Amino acid sequence: WMAIRDMDIAAEIIGVNPLKAKLTAFAVSSFFVGISGALFFAVYLGAVEVGEVFGINKSFLVLFMIIIGGLGSIFGAFAGAAFLVVLPVLLKLVGVDLLAWPTDIVAHFNLVIVGGMIIMFLILEPHGLAQLWRVAKEKLRLWPFPH
């Protein structure tokens, strides 16, 4: 594995099968991550009930956080998570409290906004909120003199 990590072409020349080495490294690391995640849930929750705690809806929520925040960016993951946590709260404040809409309408409106944001970011800006933040920061840095 160290030979593959350092230089895979040289490792292949000395007789190491790069595909097999990379697949076994991936399998071993996946095993350790799975065991550590299960132990974390067992210690954190006191019991391992992954089906109820981390269902398909939670998996999709995490995926949507990454898509909206931006693919390949740590800040994007945090920005997407913040967006998907703050959006229902803001919609409740505006929709239910100020406009007196029914709560089911506000909940469905939340789904419509999240779906529209996912489609918009996948088509128009694949790097998500992180890229928009970078562009805004750069524009503000150069603001008085844009050239």
- Give the pLDDT score at 94: 92
Q: What percent of the chain has pLDDT over 70?
A: 93
CA 72, 77, 83, 85 dihedral sign is: positive
- Quick one: pLDDT band at residue 47, thresholds 50, 70, 90? low
**Arithmetic mean of pLDDT, 47-64:** 76
**Which strand (E) or helix (H) includes residue 129?**
helix 128-141
User: pLDDT digit string (tens) for 110-141?
Assistant: 999 999 999 999 999 989 999 999 999 999 98
pLDDT digits (tens, 9 = 90+) for 24-39: 999 999 999 888 877 8
Tell me the pLDDT band of 51, cut-offs 50, 70 and 90: low
Q: How many Cβ atoms are within 10 Å of 77's Cβ, its own excluded?
A: 20
Distance CA 38, CA 47 (A): 10
